[in-house]
Structures are given as structure tokens and as C-alpha cells.
Structure 1
């Protein structure tokens, strides 16, 4: 078990070391940019956790483009070395999008991470994915893969005491206003809702089920408008994505984790050593 002593509050556990593992969604793509910085649902969740306990330290090891095998190979050991008491593990969508997809292999990589992290004493949380075909109709052939992966993740989670947040169980999660124009990444509002969903599941103070509530009605586009939007999406995002896959490239090539160390939530860089502490003053 971890050496950290947890202070229990009514209805929720207080966490002091939160580590996020995953791909672009956890890195925060779609919420901010590479110039001003990415926020994302994991950052937003860390802020909510810190509001409950300012002693929280947070690390985010996620890197865009990573498949489940890479998340396990590159992020699991560094995560364990940080001795977290809360971990989120979200991966698998990049695997689903690839022509060569082995459902058992992907689920096995996720379960191996669940097993190792829970064995270390951490509370592990993962997500069930919403139906991609409702976000991008041209992705409808991938829907069976997603449904199957969700079922495999649920089964693996139950074997290891992992908490599954079913963000795909509510119609609002496929509302286009929660997604960026590429339809593969949540936008700021989507990231906000995911963070709220996890916070609600963890029973954080002030959390509730408002994340499940629908947005005001949106007028449906006409047939021609909808078809035009699909063709533009295919040309602008699907085509380039397939091209990178065929060339063996990834959006995460050359990238590393944005927050590899446990730091207070308000900090993005390690604190400089205190000279007075070194001199004994």
C-alpha cells in the first residue's frame, strides 16, 4: 500500500498524488493549443481535486497519438514510480481507428495497466467511450469495435476494482458542441463535462449530475448541408489522418509528456530550490 496517509471526508476520499495516463484526449488536445498551452479534462479534474485538498500533486504523462501498447510501454513505469493514489487510464481510440486492430490485444494492454496500478494501491479510473458514429457519421463502420472495446474494458475493470465512468451513456456526450471540428477530440466544453463526470463519480464536494444534462436544442442541418460537412471533414481531417498512418507517422512523433513530474496544480515547472533551506536558514 502507499505510504501516503489519506484524510477521509464524508462521501469522498481525499487524494494527494494524481497521475494521468493516455493519449491526446488526456493530454488535452482540443482545449487550448500548443502555443498557449493545453488544459484538458485531466487538468480540469486536477483543479477540482485540488479544491478539495490543496495538498494535491498532479502529473500528466499522456502523449497524443499513442496506442494502448505505447501507453503501457512508455507511461506505466514512470507512473508507478510516482506512487500515485489516484490514476486515470484512458486509451484505445487510436487503436480502433487503425486498419489492423486486435481487440483482445488492446484490452489486454489496458488490463495489464489496471492490474499493476491497483496492485500498487492506487484508485484507478477509466472511461467508457461515446459512440463515434453519432459524432462523425462516416465513422459508423467503427461503431462495433467501440462497443466491443467498452465491454472488454468494463469486464477488465470489474476484475481489478477499477472505476469506469460511462461518459458515453448520455446523449449530450455526442452533441457536436462538445467536440472540435475534427470530431475526434473534445472541445473545451467537452473536456469540462468529462472532468465533471469523473468528479461526480469520485463524489468530490460540489459535484453533481449536471454534466449529463443536454444543451439547448440545436437546429438540425439540411441534407445537403450535412453531406457537405461530412465531405469537408473527410478531406480536412480523415484523409490527412489516414495519410499519416500509411506513412507510419503519428501526431505524437517527437513529443513527450507535458507534465512528467508531480507538481502543485498551479505550477507547470518544478519549483527552484530554496537557498535558505540548503543553508539551514
Structure 2
């Protein structure tokens, strides 16, 4: 055996533990989920699992609750990630640029503190804040505007909670991107008579476009699978008014024991996430042309 062959074998051996871990904790569960989506596996204690082909997916096509959950998931992703976290994170990063260290540290610390709060704790905090007898209604009662926000506007409630908790990530991404924008370009644009809005639209945003697309991809995928915050605040209710696809998957799998049907929905959600990723990756490649 040559020295080169021995070296390649040694390098391959170094990767074996990592490959085993990926197989056990990533590829294994993924393959099991794909298999389960085509079976009638259920959490009923039965040891009999039958292959049912596309039956779960045909059921999905005629399941109005599933389509409603997909629509609510889209509303949640667009409202809390694409519009909420992305826009607010960029706005905070722009407002903090050029400010004093004390102001940047205080504002960034407050925003990041919300991000560090565990999802379940954040859900309970917002539940108590928006509850019919919560803090917000205590304040609004004085002007006659109190109501049961978790009942009348459940999707708005969970969107606001997710924006509050997740904006810090977008802010940090944009702070790093804005630091890489050469100040000379802004100075030259200002000399040419460009307003602040024109400098933002024609100088800043084009230069940080890759960061915008990357941030959108990451927060979209994260929000697409959001579960804990919504479950703690509304459990998908009232009725199914805030039952996004992850919530509906949980209900079908662990409350009605239809694990095969739940994993089929998970597979559809995985495909939707892959489609979003491909769109964002395509946007990044177009930027490189």
C-alpha cells in the first residue's frame, strides 16, 4: 500500500464518526419519516403496519383543514418573518448605524434579550400580556378598547409574538452587512445631491442584497416549522383559526394517533421549505451574474 493510499484511508477514517452521527440522527429519522408517510402507522399500540401508498396524500387533497393550515402557515411566515422580522430588523440596524456605543449597546441588548428567551417562556409571556384579563387589556380598559385578543385576533397575536422574539437575528445580520458598506459611497452620493431615501434605495440595499436574501431564507425556514410559541399561546384555536400546519400535524399525529398522516404532512412541509430555499438560492445566483 502506497503512502498516498494510506493517507486517503486515514482521512476517510477521520470522517467515519461524523458520517455515523449524520446517519443516525439525520438520515435515519428522515428516511423513517418518508417511509411512514406511505403507511398507516399509528400510535395505538398495534404492531401491524401496512403500506398504503399515496392514500395519506389523497386524504390531504380532500382535507379542508389541511389546506386551511397551509394558508395560515403562509400568513404566519409572510407576516412574522418576511415582513415583520426582516423589515424591523433592517430598520433597527439602520437606525443604530452611526449611533453612540451606549445607544447601540442598550437597544441591541434589549432586542437580543427577547431572542434569548426560550420559545415556551415567550409564549407564556405573550399569553399573559394578551389574555382577556392581562396587562394589555388592563391598560386599554380605561379607553374602552379591551377585548379577548387571543380569541378575536389569534393570528395577529402569534405573529406579533414571533416578531418580538425573532427580530434580533435579522438585526444582527443587517448590522454585520451594513458595516461592510463603504462610507465613501454614501458620501459621494450625498455630494451628488441624493437624499437619505435615495442613498438607501440605490446604494445601501443593492450592496447588502445577498445578506437580505440569506436572512430571508433562514428566517423563512425557521418560521415555517414554528410550533411551541403558537401551541402555548392558542393551541391552534379558537377552533382552527391559528392552526398552522405544524400544529395540525401534531394534532393528527399525537391526539388522533394518525402518525402516518402526520408524517405525510411533514413531508409536504419539507418540500415547501425546499421550494422556498431554491427560490432564495436562485435569487443569490442572479445577484452574482
TM range (shorter): under 0.3
Using CA pairs under 8 Å that are at least 6 residues apart, name the structure with larger relative contact order, 1 or 2. 2
> Between Structure 1 and Structure 2, which shows a larger proportion of helix residues?
2
TM-score by length of 2: 0.26
TM-score by length of 1: 0.27
> Between Structure 1 and Structure 2, which shows a larger proportion of strand residues?
1
